[in-house]
Structure 1
């Protein structure tokens, strides 16, 4: 059954429900099980999914590295681990959710799928739609960068630029989907959430964290990670939950703004402006659900400036990992939490690195380059 994250109303799985009549997002009820054996996370944790997953639709998503950040751990006085989602097939965490979303669309008999995105999810749905042989529509904002459009070209999706309020486009797409027979695998679709919880399963196979830090836009990734840990606890695989941390850019922080004011509902963030475009959602569709989770589980919400984000991006480069600005927000937030003594010394922290830096080359400064004649090359090493 699908259950509303707010009012608790239940919906059958046989129909393409995505949001409750009360306006809040739906999700599947908690699964309980035990991990088994298998090469892929989908095999090892198959008991935690509502149906058997077909590897024919997979592009190799999941099972990403959890890397100890040696330099930053020493500097910050914590045990910092980086969950590197940049190594998914289309270079972001979105592939996990899209893999489940494709199954859902096919299960319901859809021949067409779509999404609303200007970056990571657009590429992911386009790629998996091509893999499954589905007619795919990608709705983007009219101001999308040319480099992001080029990244969509190889997959053959139908890309539509939409003028108007990007925050409202999410809701309009669901209406269009019902009218035109298109299953929109948007940011917080219930089955996309099911895909994201696999991150929690993989983390716990290697470390039991005290904190999990999640860059947050629509709120779907955060909800998925929390759901994964809840299922692990319900199944008695872990004894306690980590403390969950939402991170947003200060220039677009509707969830953190509501959290700080102790409000139960997010308000539209007017005139968003940040370099972290991947989390620049002024009216997140799962914002209220995230607020409820933060309140229930004593979570934290931290905002960071563009200056702090760019510094953190460079610091991650020092660990050998190149991420997009939105993915660097977690490191900037951890610095604030350590400085404020909110995080204790020696704490085990997992930071989710959501997407690769190659997706946002326009925001990266050109490397300093020196030139030398071949005859005098040795002098260039001084």
Structure 2
């Protein structure tokens, strides 16, 4: 691995990337500081197309073909909302059906560069499957810790890759901290939700959005937020592009959360500088039900610095958004449909203006959470072959 720095945007402290500090001594998250830039337009997946943006040697990557996901224009919905252009960045097209694969690929490269043979993560589901898959591909031992309320239907798609899989009861933030402590003690690289190279992997979402739009950035990018690492990475990615002279400005960003678990949106609305623990509530958007996100304070600061916003949607609005996107051919898990529901509120409030453009980040596939079907009035018919002509009429 080439020499690179990890920098804290909060206090300015710097660390060498030749080891694995996952957080700053001040308690806030770290970001990759790397001046490389360049796009290999003959390649599709992130580890080859955007290799110059990362400090890794080619043999340190173990790609499964992550990245290169489609940016799908939604003309009818855009017109309905009075926008010049509306599109969805469909991250469900990644190898394990979520955006997590981008950050996992970068973390695996970092872990390999540092000589780790064991990796792990704490996850509500999407990241667990991603780390298990990429560890298997890299021949590394994987330790996957999932929250105690993760549904049984989500365990088999993780276990199939052969990791050590544990469902752990207890507060999610406490599990996050304990995993980092045990990882340092036992030589396990825990690539949790907002560790530096996971966030660095999310930068390629920004690169691809800009490329697809001819390097004309949209007015708004709306991202569902749990831990906050994905939004941080996307912001950093657009900053990379501007620094490299590939774009001339940044979009504005909206942090999209469910009204039932909204620590960032609540702090933003209150004008607070730091998040507070949000009461835990059940929500159909369970993939973003993090009551105390580890990157929450950093996300707040970034939104204010860049003129962004943090907004919520209620359960009915999320279900409607999932149905509307499905009728456009895009089936996202409920959490990844929150951006559309929030966009509707942002248009009604005048935050997003008529004639502007927006990109919604669909973070994961609807097949990740099939229990959500119960929230929709789905119907079908049964008939025998003899009755088929009458049914078709």
CA contact (8 A) 1:93 1:354 kept: yes
Query: Counterpart in 2 of 1:250?
Result: 259
Query: Counterpart in 1 of 2:313?
Result: 304
CA contact (8 A) 1:195 1:224 kept: yes
Query: Counterpart in 2 of 1:128?
Result: 134
Query: Counterpart in 1 of 2:190?
Result: 184
Which of 46, 60, 70 is matched with 2:65 structurally? 60
1:159 aligns with 2:170: no
Distance 2:141 2:384 in 1: 54
Distance 2:339 2:96 in 1: 21
Distance 2:27 2:58 in 1: 29
CA contact (8 A) 1:26 1:190 kept: yes
RMSD: 1.4
Query: Counterpart in 2 of 1:361?
Result: 370
Query: Counterpart in 1 of 2:240?
Result: 231
Per mean C-alpha deviation after superposition, the further-off stretch among 77-86 and 367-376 is 367-376
Query: Counterpart in 2 of 1:100?
Result: 106
TM-score normalised according to structure 1 size: 0.97
Distance 2:36 2:64 in 1: 27
Which of 72, 86, 90 is matched with 2:77 structurally? 72
Query: Counterpart in 2 of 1:44?
Result: 49
Query: Counterpart in 2 of 1:22?
Result: 26
TM-score normalised according to structure 2 size: 0.94
Q: Which runs of 5 or more residues in structure 1 are unaligned?
A: none
Q: 1:30, CA displacement in angstroms? A: 4.9
Distance 2:392 2:39 in 1: 53
Query: Counterpart in 2 of 1:222?
Result: 231
Distance 2:233 2:61 in 1: 24
Q: 1:337, CA displacement in angstroms? A: 1.2
Q: 1:56, CA displacement in angstroms? A: 6.2
Distance 2:379 2:122 in 1: 37
Q: Which runs of 5 or more residues in structure 2 are unaligned?
A: none
Query: Counterpart in 2 of 1:381?
Result: 392
The aligned runs of 1:183-202 (5 Å cut-off) are 183-202=189-208
CA contact (8 A) 2:145 2:167 kept: yes
Residue correspondences, number:
382
The aligned runs of 1:236-315 (5 Å cut-off) are 236-315=245-324
CA contact (8 A) 1:277 1:326 kept: yes
Per mean C-alpha deviation after superposition, the further-off stretch among 94-103 and 339-348 is 339-348
Query: Counterpart in 2 of 1:89?
Result: 95
Please identify runs of 4+ aligned residues in structure 1 that moved more than 4 A: none
CA contact (8 A) 2:107 2:191 kept: yes
CA contact (8 A) 2:143 2:165 kept: yes
SS in 1 for 2:19: coil
C-alpha distance after superposition, 1:261-313 (max 9, x if no partner): 11111111112321101111111000011011011101111100111000000
